[in-house]
Amino acid sequence: MENINAFQFSVTHENRIKKLKQTPKLIWFTGLSGSGKSTLANALEERLFEKGYLTYLLDGDHIRKGINKDLGFSKEDRQENLRRVAEIANLFLDAGFIVLAAFVSPLESDRALVKNIVGKERYVEVYVNTSLEVCEKRDVKGLYFKARLGEISNFTGINALYEPPFYPFLCIDTSKEELSVNIDSILNKINL
């Protein structure tokens, strides 16, 4: 952009990594509403925090109540929502954090945008592949019920498309294993 020059700060990304003794990563949880993304991300963050890692969790509902409260659920607004989230995550990664992000992120192109912004070497995709039937049974927010009644449009899995990831780093079905087993699986596979 014209007339914008990034200031060169004295404390660098490398300085932060060395001081924190951890490798910054974005662990991106994607899947249908009610699949268990936030539950997994929260439990993983808790476990990492207990082990001494510096972490931060970004969650769809929290982001939409604040920085993205001006966005709806059209394809364009969803893309902008995720672009902003990726930029926020990128700032935390620069600070040396391990970032966990729980977002439906239904389109492969939007997840690719996130990966491009933060860098593919720092992006770890966890596909929470819990069936629509299980997600609807969980429906703690009543969103599937409202979508089925036509009260909510563009609801992923009902009247809006969800594209499963082509090559996720890890695939988890939260209806098959206990939470602690799923967290162990993630920790065993992710190299921090």
Specify the range with the lowest mean pLDDT, choosing from 9-18, 56-65, 80-89: 9-18
Specify if 44 maps to a domain: yes
Position 3 in a domain: no
Whether residue 33 is predicted with pLDDT greater than 80 in this model: the reply is yes
Residue tagged active-site, from 105, 175, 180, 185: 105
Task: Count Cβ atoms below 10 Å from residue 140 Cβ, excluding itself.
Answer: 7
> Is position 105 annotated as part of the catalytic site?
yes
pLDDT tens profile 152-170: 988 999 988 999 999 999 9
Q: Evaluate whether residue 151 is within a structural domain.
A: no
Q: Is the pLDDT of residue 8 over 80?
A: no
Report if residue 51 sits inside a domain. yes
Domain count, the chain: 1
Give the tens place of pLDDT for each residue, 110-135: 999 999 999 999 999 999 999 999 99
Q: Is residue 79 part of a domain?
A: yes
Tell me which residue of 175, 100, 98 sits closest to 138, measured CA to CA.
175
pLDDT for 7 = 72
pLDDT (0 to 100) of residue 1: 62
Contacts 24+ apart (CB under 8 A), 91-95: 92/24, 92/56, 93/24, 93/25, 93/26, 93/118, 93/122, 94/13, 94/16, 94/24, 95/16, 95/24
pLDDT reading at 103 higher than 90: yes
In a domain, 5, yes or no: no
CA distance 1 to 3: 7
